[in-house]
Chain A
Amino acid sequence: MTDDHPHHGDHDHDGEDHGHHPKPKLDIERRVEAIEALLVERGLITSDVVDAIVDTYERDLGPMNGARVVARAWTDPGYRARLLADGTRAVGELGFGGAEGEHLVVLENTGDIHNVVVCTLCSCYPWPVLGLPPRWYKSFAYRSRMVREPRAVLAEFGTALPDDVEVRVWDSSAEVRYMVLPVAPDDAATRSEEELAALVTRDHMIGVAR
């Protein structure tokens, strides 16, 4: 261990007894610990289950799933049609599903239409295909501004759209989760699904990139 000990004690006993600037636990940290202790004590959960869930969301769920869906849609017209008709079922074909994916609607970008997704009330997001939302998606600024001035916000993301492209903003509700199907690259037909998936980012599928 170095003498600097820069970690804030991920799992150490990080009390207030270190020589350097002590870092007392935040109220919120104590509160979360208390909730866990209570739920474990009541036999409702185990800490191992919580560990496993966190691990899944940190590692296994993420935009790489959605990217595979997009790449399949770009290379298989039949799949694309099924995806646009019933997103939940079509992503299920690739093995993706679960919480927050029960009513998935896929929005197709075209040369004339650009779709972008927001959740104005909280942070609704299609977990099975995109994982958990990035910090900015949950921010007050994004939630409040994307509906009011989408072109300005998109420009700040580096996505300045020509005036003749219609911007459609989709506000996720308690029922529906959205994912954007970006426009395929011109040479999609000559490329492998894996190559294509590597081109697709989370921002494309939220719609803040084009």
Chain B
Amino acid sequence: MTSSSPPDGIPRRNGELVFDAPWESRAFGLAAAYVEASGGGWDAFRAHLIAAIDQTPTAPYYQSWVVALDRLLAADGISTSPTG
């Protein structure tokens, strides 16, 4: 549980980096590219993301994002990953 202080230090300027690490931007870009390529829209991905966040509410955001992407690919019969 985080304390009552503002979450993660409040940025008060625009233009901050939206990704904290290269793998985060990659994970974002992969999901966006796949959603675009599959033509299915974001709804299915979002449902997986909501479920992943709900399972581990305090996990880092993009970690849940990767879990969601794995599950979406598995649901679409694409993933060969043994995990997830």
Contact B42 A50 (CB under 8 A): no
| Residues in chain A near residue B81, CB distance under 8 A | 31, 34-35, 38
Instruction: Specify the main secondary structure of chain A where it touches its partner.
Output: helix
Is A42's CB within 8 Å of the partner chain B?
A: yes
The number of chain A residues touching the other chain, given as a range, is: 35 or more
CB-contact partner of B63 in A28, A51, A136, A153, under 8 A: A28
Q: Mark B1-28, 1 if CB is under 8 A from A, else 0.
A: 0101111111111111111101101111
Chain A residues numbered 117-145 whose CB sits less than 8 Å from any CB in chain B: 121-124, 131-136, 138-142, 144
Contact A136 B7 (CB under 8 A): yes
Contact A31 B83 (CB under 8 A): yes
Please give me the residue from chain B that is nearest to A31 by CB atom: B66
| Residues in chain B near residue A38, CB distance under 8 A | 73, 78-81
The number of chain B residues touching the other chain, given as a range, is: 35 or more
Is B55's CB within 8 Å of the partner chain A?
A: no
| Residues in chain B near residue A136, CB distance under 8 A | 6-11
Give complex CA distance A181, B15 in Å.
19
Contact B50 A156 (CB under 8 A): no
Interface residues of A (CB under 8 A from B): 10, 26, 28-29, 31-36, 38-39, 42, 44-45, 49-51, 53-54, 57-58, 62-64, 99-100, 121-124, 131-136, 138-142, 144, 152-153, 156-158, 174, 201-203, 208-209
